[in-house]
């Protein structure tokens, strides 16, 4: 059992939803992370927007804590690992990668992953457009992959949209929380990065969603009156 994580069964596999906005696939000893967006804060600073450098430091702090806790054999980044062209934060990532040579690292290319392939390969990162690991198909943008993979019996997992649920209280009160979403044939992870933003989704009624509240995972109703 992983403290403060939520265990779910998906396609006959046990997955742990983590309050750090990642998934641990226990059978494969694999950590799934979407939308880290390393380099985004550096990109903003280079364009004159004063974003604190600590944003990127916090991402690595959380990632390192997960590695110590779970000792994964593999990390799969479900797209948007790096946000822009090379800057100092990419060098920080390369230094981080060199300190974890025993972990296999895989990147599913996202729309922001625009670095030359040689940069990823130099850091011992395997790169794929999509990756099949029975019973899952790992992609970045689930929606764009559904049409071409509609005949596949594998369950799609991706990121891209930075999903969140908006929960309404009494009166006009409402709060927005990052969430994991699981439909009949696809699921979406929340953005792992600390400087990413969220997009409110409206899952079909009675499909599974779990919100991240501080350091806890909570099942959320997807009834239309929620």
Q: What is the pLDDT of residues 192-223, one digit of tens each?
A: 987 677 889 998 888 999 999 988 999 986 64
pLDDT at 222: 61
Q: Is the pLDDT of residue 52 over 60?
A: no
pLDDT tens per residue across span 92-104: 899 999 999 999 9
Q: Contact at 8 Å (CB) between 97 and 90?
A: no
Judge contact between 218 and 165, C-beta under 8 A: no
Domains annotated for the chain, with CATH where assigned, are: 6-162+185-195 (3.60.21.10)
Q: Out of 27-31, 36-40, 163-167, which region has the weakest mean confidence (pLDDT)?
A: 36-40
User: Which of 30-34, 48-52, 61-65, 159-163 shows the lowest per-residue confidence on average (mean pLDDT)?
Assistant: 48-52
Confidence of residue 40 (pLDDT cuts 50, 70, 90): low
For residue 53, is pLDDT > 70?
A: no
Mean pLDDT score of the chain, rounded to an integer? 88
Average pLDDT over residues 44-73: 78
Q: Are 156 and 147 in contact (CB under 8 A)?
A: no
DSSP states of 28-55 as a string? TTEEEE----BTHHHHHHHTT----THH
Average pLDDT rounded to a whole number, residues 50-72 = 84
User: How high is the pLDDT of residue 62?
Assistant: 93
Question: Would you state the pLDDT for residue 196?
Answer: 72
Task: Reply yes or no on whether the pLDDT at 44 is more than 60.
Answer: no
Q: What is the mean pLDDT of residues 106-110?
A: 97
CA dist 107 to 10, 22, 44, 63, Å? 22, 15, 23, 15
Asked if residue 105 lies in contact with residue 160, where contact means CB atoms within 8 angstroms, the answer is no
> pTM to 2 decimals?
0.90
Q: Which of 25, 9, 4 is nearest to 78 (CA)?
A: 25
């Amino acid at each position: 059992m992983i403290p403060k994580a939520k265990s779910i069964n998906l396609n006959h596999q046990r997955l742990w939803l983590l309050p750090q906005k990642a998934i641990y696939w226990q059978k494969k000893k694999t950590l799934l992370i979407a939308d880290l967006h390393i380099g985004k804060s550096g990109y903003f600073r280079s364009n004159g927007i004063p974003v604190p450098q600590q944003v990127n430091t916090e991402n690595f702090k959380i990632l390192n804590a997960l590695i110590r806790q779970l000792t994964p054999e593999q990390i799969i980044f479900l797209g948007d690992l790096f946000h822009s062209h090379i800057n100092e934060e990419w060098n920080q990532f390369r230094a981080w990668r060199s300190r974890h040579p025993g972990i296999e690292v895989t990147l599913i290319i996202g729309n922001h992953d625009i670095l030359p392939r040689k940069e990823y390969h130099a850091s011992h990162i395997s790169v794929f457009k999509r990756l099949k690991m029975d019973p899952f198909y790992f992609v970045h943008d689930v929606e764009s992959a559904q049409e071409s993979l509609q005949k596949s019996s594998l369950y799609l997992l991706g990121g891209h949209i930075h999903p969140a649920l908006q929960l309404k209280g009494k009166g006009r009160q409402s709060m927005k929380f990052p969430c994991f979403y699981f439909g009949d044939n696809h699921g979406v992870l929340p953005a792992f990065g600390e400087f990413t933003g969220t997009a409110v989704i409206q899952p079909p009624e009675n499909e599974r969603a779990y919100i991240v509240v501080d350091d806890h995972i909570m099942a959320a109703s997807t009834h239309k009156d929620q």
